[in-house]
Structure 1
Amino acid sequence: MTQAKTRLCFLIRQLNEGGAQRQIVELVKGLDQPHHAVTVVSLYSGGRFSADVAHLPHVSYFSLAKHGRWDVVPFLYRLVCKMRCLRPDVIHGYLPAANVLCITLKPFLPRMRTVWGIRASVMDWAQYDWLDRLLFQLQRVLARFVDLIIINSNAGRDYHVARGFPASKIVVIPNGIDTHVFVPNGEERQRVRTQWGITDKEKLIGFVARLDPMKDHSTFLHAAALLTRSHAELRFVCVGDGPPSYRDQLLELTKRLQLADRIIWERWRTDMPAIYNALDIATLCSYYGEGFPNVIGEAMACGVPCVATEVGDSAYIVGDTGVIVRSRDPEALAKAWQLMLRRRGAEGPQLGERARCRITREFDREKLAKRTLDALEKVL
């Protein structure tokens, strides 16, 4: 007799640019197994990663085509109808809105197991609107009714347990990096550096992140201004998209710091492995919110050492292959870059090789899929 497939449904607001969205893609790619039927449902249509999911042969993808924040009753009707049609054994929410919606579906599908996905750690709620704050409070109240909560960082677990989330229902599963895509590539390194006009003698320090106050581009720019006073061979690049008004603020700051000829501003690109390969040092400057920053793992998988602020699980990810600094401290960041440049000179290619080895050993996509399936099996 053929064994019935376990129906897994992943619910997310939208498959737009972001670390959680990239991770849901990596996870479902790794769930190509004969005993599971995988479906991804997004509240809103479109997004950078929607095509990636739609093209996976073993994954069904549906959008509920929500029209906006106030499209409530018709949207909820479509959601309930879709879930009754899919009849998932497990519904796995990603991020607060989807997590709360998972619980609201329980009366309609009482045998369905509910799993939450939480991706953040320490939050600065002053940076968010009333709906984000409300969703967090709803999660605090509703968490006791969930079968399982998957958090992608130890820092995130500690933060949420301290705010009343049930520790007994939480399991930490780190993000997974596709180490077959994010690989060292000398040809791609040279191609991108040539596009940007970076010579072999220059050292390139990069910051890959959406343009968002959480990412703290200001500290990156002030640290760059400090270091360029004594290092003429340094260039910098910021890669990412964001609101035009915030981008304009950062460009104005770049001019005030006299960095216009030393820094490159690049929109988000589809050839991100090549972007990482072009760097000599990758940087994360966030001062709150991060759980498991994908950009650190992706850069390390490409053999690029990292300097990161002490947010989320950054220190755990880089291990002894990188440098961790205080957040919002340009002087500390500039000194860390100097230290990393010296380490690159002393250790040579072995530093990048050890960084990649750490990702392949601890944080590759296959481990993400296995750890997630193991956790889901326990609630079935």
Structure 2
Amino acid sequence: MRALHVITGLGVGGAEQQLRLLLRHVPAQCDVVTLTNPGPVAAGLTADGVRVIHLGMRGNRDLGALPRLTRLIRTGGYDVVHTHLYRACLYGRIAARLAGVRAVVATEHSIGDTLLEGRPLTPGVRALYLAGERLGRATVAVSPAVAERLRRWGVPGRRIRTIPNGIDAPLFAHDEVARKEARMFYGLPEDAYVVGGVGRLAPGKRFDVLVRALAELPGDVRLLLVGDGPEQETLRRTARALGVADRVVLTGERPYLPDPGDDAPGVVALLSAMDVLASPSAEEAFGLAVVEALAAGLPVLYASCPAVEDLPPDAAPGALRVTGGAGAYARELLRLRAAGPGGREAPQAVRRYDIAYSARKLMDVYTAALAGSTLEVSSP
């Protein structure tokens, strides 16, 4: 089976890294087209032996990209076209149909109740999405919460498949050596209490809540934010205004594991360097950073995380939902600090999100799409 994955960009983001991990486990010959930004994940995919093509799209209205993508699909002889993220889903579905490929699958990574990939979800955006969705054969939701949102929009239930994001859980096991090295690299004292956040520095992630919470916490507490985005300078200004700039570390985009020649720690090592992960984002489609933190044995404070909320009660005892702003996070962080470090062991619930399971379920979707089946794939 030949499959083409079409994605909007390949910077370091949850959807992009999830695609790279998934392709390591899917038993199909896969190529990847990125419409824009062939960033670090593109280099990682290439290192994995995956062919990556940059379409060179200049913006949302670059209609010249459509015939280029159509030709690429037609000449590639692909059996399945799988799209990821809003722009790629729209252009990829249309191009696949024009190229004569009907087995079109899309994964919805970032749909919230009011936001789509961090942007306001307007009636026009929703209408355009629904028009494009009809060209596909299956739409994969990364959580039951996303599946329910799609149904409320009007996507027929027979086309929705729920397949959770997956992780390589053993990769995130706590490493004391990596903890010390990562702290040393970023100048974090060994005895500091380090609050971490992982994700795109965008308004919807609400990392400013953590900066404001830091101002209410003792001076030996540090904030370690892993990611990049348009809010970076705003966060720096907020930290300076609150007098905590010297206690905030912004690492920028980091891969899970650094490439050869890259001395900076990757996400895996940075999770070991943290004492707690906080995710104040009010709208999440899954909550991948939370699951990865749980796999690292970290306690987690979160505002929205379908990956945890879909679990049986008490399946993830280290995760606590926090409602409210900076004051609420500061109070819970003080409580966790006073309780002392835990055993740094991952809860059994993490096994539910095994990447190999997700890959098997995705192959079931491909098989059904090729057969023209409308039978739903069961949720985990």
TM-score tier, shorter chain, comes to 0.7 to 0.9
Aligned with residue 209 of structure 2, among 179, 199, 219: 219
Paired AA for residue 37 in structure 1: Q
Give matches, 1:96-175, under 5 Å. Answer: 96-125=86-115, 128=119, 134-175=124-165
- Is the 1:87–1:109 contact (alpha carbons within 8 Å) kept by the matching residues of 2? no
Helix, strand or coil at the partner of 1:189: helix
Q: 2:327: which partner in 1?
A: 331
**1:204–1:281: 8 Å Cα contact kept in structure 2?**
yes
Aligned runs of 1:352-367 on 2, under 5 Å?
Answer: 352-355=344-347, 357-359=348-350, 361-367=351-357
- 2:285 counterpart of 1:300: no
Residue from 13, 17, 25 that aligns with 1:18 = 13
TM-superposed CA distance for 1:247, in Å, is 2.5
Query: Residues of 2 paired with 1:105 and 1:268: CA distance?
Result: 31
Query: For residues 79-94 of structure 1, what are the structure 2 equivalents within 5 Å?
Result: 79-94=69-84
Q: Deviations over 1:112-146 (max 9, x none)?
A: 3111111123243597379x864432222343442
Q: Give the secondary-structure state (helix, strand or coil) at the position aligned to 2:107.
A: strand
Q: Deviations over 1:55-93 (max 9, x none)?
A: 223x332222223444323x2221111111112211111
Pick closer, same or farther for the CA change 1:335–1:297 going to 2, 3 Å.
same
Scaled by the length of structure 1, the TM-score of the pair is 0.85
SS of residue matched to 2:11 = coil
Answer yes or no: is 1:242 the counterpart of 2:229. yes
Aligned to 1:258: 243
CA contact (8 A) 2:196 2:225 kept: yes
Distance 2:248 2:53 in 1: 41
The residue type equivalent to 1:10 in the other structure is: H
Deviation at 1:28, TM superposition (A): 0.7
Deviation of 1:258 (Å): 2.3
Given that 1:9 and 1:90 are in contact with CA atoms closer than 8 Å, whether structure 2 keeps it comes out as yes
* CA distance in 1 between partners of 2:171 and 2:123 (Å): 36
Partner of 1:341: 337
1:323 and 1:336 in contact (8 A); partners too: no
- 2:363 and 2:335 map into 1 onto residues whose CA distance is 40
Tell me the distance in 1 between the aligned counterparts of 2:157 and 2:191.
51
Offset at residue 342 of structure 1 (A): 4.4
Check conservation: 1:97, 1:135, Cα contact below 8 A: no
In structure 2, how many angstroms separate the alpha carbons of the residues matched to 1:309 and 1:37?
Answer: 38
Q: Distance in 1 between matches of 2:301 and 2:10?
A: 28
1:62 aligns with 2:53: yes
Q: Tell me how far 1:152 sits from its aligned partner.
A: 0.6
Q: Which SS does the other structure have where 1:210 is aligned?
A: coil
Q: Which amino acid aligns with 1:237?
A: L
Q: Is the 8 A contact 1:152 1:174 kept in 2?
A: yes
**Partner SS for 1:105:** helix
Equivalents in 2 of 1:28, 1:151: separation in Å? 18
* Matched residue SS, 2:369: coil
Question: Counterpart amino acid of 2:3?
Answer: L
CA shift for structure 1 position 148: 0.7
Counterparts of 1:249 and 1:129, CA distance in 2: 20
Deviation at 1:150, TM superposition (A): 0.2
Aligned-residue Cα RMSD (Å) equals 2.4
Q: Paired residue for 1:71?
A: 62
The structure-2 alpha-carbon separation of the partners of 1:111 and 1:21, relative to structure 1 and needing over 3 Å to count, comes to closer
Q: 1:287-333 CA distances to partner (integer Å, 9 max, x unpaired)?
A: 22x2122211222222222111124434346722211112x522222
Note if 1:188 corresponds to 2:178: yes
Deviation (angstroms), 1:163: 1.5
Please give the alpha-carbon distance, in whole angstroms, between the structure 1 residues aligned to 2:115 and 2:195. 30
SS in 1 for 2:57: coil
Aligned to 2:362: 372
- Between stretches 231-240 and 361-370, larger displacement belongs to 231-240
Aligned match for 1:278, one of 261, 273, 293 = 273
Determine if contact 1:100/1:135 at 8 Å carries over to the other structure: no
Runs of 5+ in structure 2 lacking a partner? 259-265, 371-380
Q: CA deviation at 1:249?
A: 2.2
Indicate the percent of aligned positions where both proteins have the same amino acid. 24
8 A Cα contact 2:25 2:355, kept in partner: yes
Instruction: Give the deviation of 1:358 after TM superposition.
Output: 2.9
Question: How many aligned residue pairs are there?
Answer: 356
Letter in 1 for 2:322: V
Q: Is the 8 A contact 1:13 1:97 kept in 2?
A: yes
Q: CA deviation at 1:111?
A: 4.9
Q: Report the residue type matching 2:228 in the other structure.
A: D
* Cα distance change of structure 1 residues 164 and 69 upon mapping to structure 2, 3 Å threshold: closer
Distance 1:262 1:76 in 2: 47
Q: 2:70 touches 2:96 (CA, 8 Å); kept in 1?
A: no
Deviation of residue 264 (structure 1)? 2.3
- TM-score, structure 2 normalization: 0.85
C-alpha spacing 1:313/1:179, structure 2 compared with 1 (3 Å)? closer
Give deviations 1:238-261, integer Å, cap 9, x for gaps: 222223xx3332222112222223
Q: Distance in 2 between matches of 1:107 and 1:292?
A: 29
Matched letter for residue 276 of structure 1:
L
